[in-house]
Chains A and B, each alone.
Chain A
Amino acid sequence: DAKTTQPNSMESNEEEPVHLPCNHSTISGTDYIHWYRQLPSQGPEYVIHGLTSNVNNRMASLAIAEDRKSSTLILHRATLRDAAVYYCILRVHAGGTSYGKLTFGQGTILTVHP
């Protein structure tokens, strides 16, 4: 799988927007960009995914650079519950047949201050 690079940690204040960056300079044309997060002592939770266009859902927005070599997860108003490890993952098609392995890196530890 293509490699992603994320900052080890970021901090934010409650009710402020948070922009979590991810670099993936070796991304290929068929790679989807997935974001998951893991709250303390819980299982990972899907946040959002996209291919080329920016995506919005109830949790967050995903902004994908035009050349697709980077993306940014945007939390519009951080809450204390958003404190978690955020993972940016590329999921590739393998030989035309996609399959299910999500490769988690170290992620970004997001701290939200009251």
Chain B
Amino acid sequence: NAGVMQNPRHLVRRRGQEARLRCSPMKGHSHVYWYRQLPEEGLKFMVYLQKENIIDESGMPKERFSAEFPKEGPSILRIQQVVRGDSAAYFCASSPRQLPDTEAFFGQGTRLTVV
């Protein structure tokens, strides 16, 4: 059973471009979470999705950021018009059911660099 797959592992974008980060959850998992880790900082929750629904987006910046988890295919975190401050590691996690009485499995992350 493959783990949570994130791609690309590294992404370089120029200021003003769009970044699309993909996350394929573990097989059978319908709950997906996105986290961001800025350089030398802790992990910050961004958004929690269940198939085709956004459950909690309280950690998402109000502008330029969006997330989706379609019925078919991976979850996508989209950042429009990237700025240098978006440079960070973005981690995706999945779980087979709602937390808290189960574990979340994390991917290896996408490291976004904005130049």
Q: Complex Cα distance A92/B56, Å?
A: 14
Once the chains bind, are A100 and B106 in contact (CB under 8 Å)? Answer: no
> What B residues does A100 contact at CB under 8 A?
31, 33, 48, 55-56, 95, 98-99, 104
For A93, what are the chain B residues with a Cβ–Cβ distance below 8 Å? 100
Q: Considering the chains assembled together, what is the distance between the CA atoms of A101 and B43 in angstroms? A: 11
The answer to whether B108 and A42 have CB atoms under 8 Å apart is yes
Interface centre among A92, A101, A104, A105 (most CB of B within 10 A): A101
**In the complex where A100-B56, A100-B95 touch, is A46 in contact with B107 (Cβ < 8 A)?**
no
- CB neighbours of A45 from chain B (8 A): 106
Contacts of B43 in A (CB 8 A): 38, 44, 87, 104
Q: Is A10 an interface residue (CB 8 A)?
A: no
Is B101 in contact with A102, judged by CB distance below 8 angstroms? no
Complex Cα distance, B95 from A98, in Å, reads 13
Chain A residues, CB < 8 A from B56: 99-101
B65 within 8 A of A: no
> Which of A38, A42, A98 lies in contact with B98, CB distance below 8 A?
A98
| Cβ of A24 under 8 Å from chain B | no
B91 within 8 A of A: yes
